């Protein structure tokens, strides 16, 4: 699927009216605990289940901090979901969950000072980290220590860049960094050779590093509502799995893309994918611009 329509880059930042995701309103409106909503009771049976399954689910529990009962579960924790609460600190002792594979922190209003990254960076088995919908301005270099990471979601924050150490995440398959203030990407991104999906919409990026052509497994690249003016010249020629390219509200037009080597093959792949969705009566994401075909 290709989404390309000419749009002017705004000096104040990206055009956001068609951004594909939106911040969680509950954290944007207020960071106060809702005193009318009872906190999720933590009883012995619940704690026993946590220890038995290794899964701790405490989303939307009106929490201000990680409960002591959680820490009692020790190294057997595999999944910790404390999303959409009012937690203001992720202490270094999070490192005690050495077997944790999935960590959900989104929607807590976390600031840069809220997270003790030396604790998170020691989670060598972590495969999924979600810290979206917070107030982070920096993603520290310590994230490069999470070498087992397959999914990283830092969308809907206030990030202005991604660290060079991102390139150390050689197992990464999905990167979501949309709805930030990112102006450029590190060259090292090209080392993430397993990347299949990259979401960078609603940033102020004007170009991608040429190393993006090394992402041979890339299937989806979303760049809507950015200041993008060009693409790496070898993108279509080298990224032979690419089928979805989102370019709404950028300065890149279809006529411009036709000049790229490998465009015809890419165009055939994305048309085939769309046709398969129609054949199986799958509407898809709802973002495909059918009108785009009329000018080709």
Over residues 117-126, the pLDDT tens digits come to 999 999 999 9
Q: Is residue 16 part of a domain?
A: yes
CATH value at residue 80:
3.80.10.10
Q: Is residue 229 part of a domain?
A: yes
pLDDT tens-place string over residues 73-94: 989 999 999 999 999 999 999 9
Residue 288's pLDDT band, with cuts at 50, 70 and 90, is very low
Q: Which domain range does residue 67 map to?
A: 8-252
Q: Is residue 283 part of a domain?
A: no
Q: Is residue 203 part of a domain?
A: yes
Q: Is residue 289 part of a domain?
A: no
Q: Is residue 145 part of a domain?
A: yes
pLDDT exceeds 50 at position 158: yes
Q: Is residue 110 part of a domain?
A: yes
pLDDT tens-place string over residues 49-68: 999 999 999 999 999 999 99
Q: Please state the domain count of the chain.
A: 1
Q: Is residue 178 part of a domain?
A: yes
pLDDT exceeds 90 at position 35: no
pLDDT at 275: 81
pLDDT at 273: 86
* Exposed/middle/buried for residue 151 (C-beta within 10 Å: 0-12, 13-18, 19+): middle
Residue 202's pLDDT band, with cuts at 50, 70 and 90, is very high
pTM across the whole model: 0.82
Q: What is the residue-averaged pLDDT of the chain?
A: 85
């Amino acid at each position: 699927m290709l989404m390309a329509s000419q749009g002017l880059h705004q000096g104040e930042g990206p055009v956001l009216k068609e951004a594909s995701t939106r911040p969680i309103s509950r954290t944007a409106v207020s960071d106060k605990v809702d005193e009318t909503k009872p906190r999720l009771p933590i009883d012995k049976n619940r704690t026993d289940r946590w220890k038995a399954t290794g899964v701790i689910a405490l989303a939307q529990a009106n929490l201000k901090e990680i409960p002591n009962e959680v820490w009692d579960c020790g190294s057997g924790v595999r999944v910790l979901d404390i999303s959409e609460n009012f937690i203001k600190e992720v202490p270094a002792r999070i490192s005690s969950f050495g077997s944790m594979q999935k960590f959900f922190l989104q929607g807590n209003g976390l600031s840069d000072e809220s997270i003790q990254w030396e604790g998170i960076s020691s989670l060598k088995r972590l495969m999924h980290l979600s810290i979206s919908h917070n107030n982070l301005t920096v993603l520290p270099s310590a994230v490069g220590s999470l070498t087992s990471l397959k999914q990283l979601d830092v969308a809907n924050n206030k990030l202005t860049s991604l660290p060079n150490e991102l390139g150390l995440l050689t197992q990464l398959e999905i990167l979501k960094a949309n709805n930030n203030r990112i102006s450029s990407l590190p060259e090292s991104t090209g080392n993430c050779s397993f990347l299949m999906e990259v979401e960078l919409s609603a940033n102020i990026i004007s170009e991608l590093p040429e190393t993006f052509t090394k992402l041979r497994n890339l299937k989806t690249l979303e760049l809507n509502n950015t200041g993008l003016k060009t693409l790496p010249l070898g993108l279509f020629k080298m990224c032979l799995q690419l089928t979805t390219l989102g370019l709404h509200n950028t300065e890149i037009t279809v006529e411009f893309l036709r000049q790229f080597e490998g465009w015809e093959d890419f165009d055939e792949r994305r048309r085939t994918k769309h046709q398969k969705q129609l054949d199986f009566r799958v509407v898809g994401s709802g973002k495909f611009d059918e009108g785009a075909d009329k000018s080709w």
